[in-house]
């Protein structure tokens, strides 16, 4: 099964720096300036739904409204977050339960 590319946009939206995951199950936003754990849970739940359907690969994109020179720390943090998330997703790909779920969907 071919990996689906999921674009993750780092951008300034509504005066907040956010990562927006462009998923087929609906966009998921993560405000990098917030400590709201419910947002993180929602992102992970939507990622899990996406992963159940297709293997995915994350592609970080810098949005038009994001000022890289003023927000380098956020860019560095977002890049590292995506690297770590890719690693976790890679580990999930060998999970027997996930393999069974995908076989049932087909």
Which segments of the chain are extended strands (E)? 4-13, 16-21, 28-31, 56-62
Per-residue pLDDT of 48-94, as tens digits, reads: 888 888 889 999 999 999 999 999 999 999 999 999 999 988 887 77
Question: Does the pLDDT at position 103 exceed 90?
Answer: no
pLDDT over 70 (residue 105)? no
Q: What is the per-residue pLDDT across 4-39, written as a single tens digit (0 to 9) for each? A: 999 999 999 999 999 999 999 899 999 999 999 999
Q: What is the pTM (predicted TM-score) of this model? A: 0.86
């Amino acid at each position: 099964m071919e990996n689906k590319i999921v674009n993750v946009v780092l951008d300034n939206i509504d005066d907040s720096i956010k990562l927006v995951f462009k998923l087929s199950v609906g966009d998921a936003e993560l405000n990098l300036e917030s400590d709201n754990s419910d947002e993180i849970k929602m992102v992970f739940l939507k990622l899990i739904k996406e992963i159940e359907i297709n293997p995915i690969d994350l592609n970080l994109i810098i949005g038009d409204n994001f000022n890289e020179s003023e927000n380098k720390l956020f860019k560095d943090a977002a890049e590292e977050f995506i690297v770590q998330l890719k690693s976790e997703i890679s580990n999930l790909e060998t999970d027997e339960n996930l393999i069974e779920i995908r076989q049932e969907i087909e």
